[in-house]
Amino acid sequence: MSTVALNLETDTVVLPEPAMPAAARLQQALSKRSSARTFRPDSLSMGTLSALLWSAYGINRADTCGRTAPSAHNWQEIDVFAVLPEGAYRYDARGNRLLLVKAEDLRAATGTQDFVASAPLNLVYVADFARMHDAKPDERAFLAGADAGCIAQNVYLYCACAGLATVVRGLIDRSHLAGVLGLSSTERVILAQSVGLAIST
Ligand SMILES: Cc1cc2nc3c(=O)[nH]c(=O)nc-3n(C[C@H](O)[C@H](O)[C@H](O)COP(=O)(O)O)c2cc1C
């Protein structure tokens, strides 16, 4: 079953309201947090995808466009890409929608490990250095890495609550992935994260 219904006229997917799991205690989520590299082949539902993306880096304060993860200087320089069998999309948090980047299965390009090609979803965290105003060049990658790490931990905690398996990944051919995603000269691939239904649920 396809998770993503693309509007071919606009190249966008409007996400449903995030379907958050029943209230879970932070302690339980932290107790369950772990990395897993095997997934059931099933697609994630649109509600789950929406909740996952909101947890990762959604807008949690509409008045200030604050996000669920912090960022240095509030640069909000990270863009979250959702790489699905149907195609690769850029998450537009303000519009709660996905913007089509490429209508191809690019999952294999998101990492150098075999499981990424069949993981139901691979998130890719991309920093746009152009948004990091006044950052010293040698600080950009460091701060972008920290900011992406905060997003990755949000995803880990959501997955722990929702019965999903996940692993954050640094083993990536970054120049290849930047090429296939068509990134601009100021954008850098920082980390990726595979997600799918846990085998045990
Ligand atoms: C920055 C970072 C990069 C990582 N890169 C990879 C990776 O490329 N491939 C992978 O399988 N796991 C990767 N991991 C996951 C670690 O191997 C994993 O977190 C560690 O073994 C501890 O296991 P746990 O997360 O279950 O506690 C990475 C973790 C971090 C924080």
Q: What is the dihedral of CA 15, 191, 170, 164, to 10 degrees?
A: -30
For residue 65, how far is its CA from the centre of ligand 1 (angstroms)?
30
Residue 141 buriedness (CB in 10 A; 0-12 / 13-18 / 19+):
middle
Number of neighbours of residue 32 by Cβ within 10 angstroms: 15
Q: What is the pLDDT of residue 1?
A: 44
Q: What is the pLDDT of residue 5?
A: 67
Q: What is the pLDDT of residue 2?
A: 46
Question: Burial code of 162-198, b = ≥16 C-beta within 10 A, e = fewer?
Answer: bebbbbbbeebebeebbebbebeeebbbbbbbbbbbb
Q: What is the pLDDT of residue 88?
A: 97
Contact yes or no for 127/159 (Cβ under 8 A): no
Contact yes or no for 12/98 (Cβ under 8 A): yes
For ligand 1, pick from 168, 171, 174 the residue to mutate: most ligand atoms within 8 Å of CB: 168
Closest C-alpha among 184, 68, 200 to residue 127: 184
Q: What is the pLDDT of residue 21?
A: 79
Q: Is the CB of 181 inside a 6 Å radius of any atom of ligand 1? A: no
Q: What is the pLDDT of residue 17?
A: 87
pTM beyond 0.85: the answer is yes
- Which contiguous run of DSSP H or E holds residue 41? none
Domains belonging to the chain, first-starting first, are 31-197 (3.40.109.10)
Whole-number Å distance between alpha carbons of 85 and 79: 19
Q: What is the pLDDT of residue 33?
A: 97
pLDDT tens for the chain, 201 residues: list them.
446 666 656 789 999 988 777 777 899 999 999 999 999 999 999 999 999 999 999 999 999 999 999 999 999 999 999 999 999 999 999 999 999 999 999 999 999 999 999 999 999 999 999 999 999 989 999 999 999 999 999 999 999 999 999 999 999 999 999 999 999 999 999 999 999 999 975
